Each structure stands twice: as C-alpha cells, then as structure tokens.
Amino acid sequence: MVLREDKGFSMIELIVYVAIVGIILTIAVPKYNNAIAMANTARIQADLQVLDGAVMMYYTEHGTYPSEIEALDDYVRNAQDIHPPKGRCLLRDGSAIEIDVDSYAIDPVENEVLCQGYRLSDFGRQEKP
C-alpha cells in the first residue's frame, strides 16, 4: 500500500486564503488612509496655531503685521522651515482636500497664516451632535 504525501496547498485552500486577505485589506486600507489624513490635519492645525501666535507677537512688538513667514524667525525657531505635510487632510465641513503647497503663507487682508488658502478654523473634523 502506497501512502500519498500531500505537499503544498490545494486550490481551494489558496482561494480561501486570498479571499480572507482581500477582506482584511478592504477594512484596513481605508482606516489607514483616514488615520494619515487625521494626522496631517492635526499637524497643520498645530503649525497654524503656532504661526498665528507668532504673527500676533510680531504685531505687538512692531505695530504692523509681517508680510512673510521668514519675518517670524525671532518668534518661532526656523519659521521658514515649517512646511505643511503633503497629502490628504480633513476640513471642518466634512470634505477632504489634498495639500500640495510647499509652505504656509500670510493673508495680507486678514493677517492670518494660511495653508493652501485655508485658515486654522477651516481644518478639523466636524463634531457630531
């Protein structure tokens, strides 16, 4: 009597394995992408808070608002080196945008620091009632 030794996987086992991995990925990838967007949003919010505070300190000392981020070097270490993260971030209205600018800018009218034309109050997740 000859015993047959099976080596490897059967086709059914491979199909089940691929299906399980596919299901796990369909759950994990969107959660990962959302976590990245939330982290980018939090970083932008923190940067804008610091830079807006520096703008107010500049105004208090000089009596005028700065026109460029580089003017804030006395108030924020290496202010010109603070850059927004590239990628997706969340807005308070529930939408998401792609950040593709290389630096923050100061709005000459409102004297607030902007990221891609959006101010601090525009970023974040909408609170659910």
Q: For 56-95, write each residue's pLDDT tens digit.
A: 999 999 999 999 999 999 999 988 889 999 999 999 998 9
- Does residue 5 lie within any of the structural domains? no
- Does residue 20 lie within any of the structural domains? yes
d(CA 100, CA 95): 16
- Does residue 42 lie within any of the structural domains? yes
Model confidence, pTM: 0.79
For residue 125, what are the contacts with CB-CB under 8 A and spacing of at least 6?
A: 38, 41, 90, 92
- Does residue 4 lie within any of the structural domains? no
Number of domains in the chain: 1
- Cβ pair 65, 58 in contact under 8 A: yes
pLDDT in tens, 85-121: 999 999 999 899 999 999 999 999 999 999 999 999 9
What is the domain extent for residue 74?
11-122
For residue 20, what are the contacts with CB-CB under 8 A and spacing of at least 6?
A: none
- b or e along 7-18 (b: 16 or more beta carbons within 10 Å of the residue's beta carbon)? eeeeeeeeeeee
- Does residue 127 lie within any of the structural domains? no
End-to-end CA distance of the chain: 73
- Does residue 57 lie within any of the structural domains? yes
- Does residue 34 lie within any of the structural domains? yes
For residue 65, what are the contacts with CB-CB under 8 A and spacing of at least 6?
A: 55, 58, 59, 106, 111
- Does residue 62 lie within any of the structural domains? yes
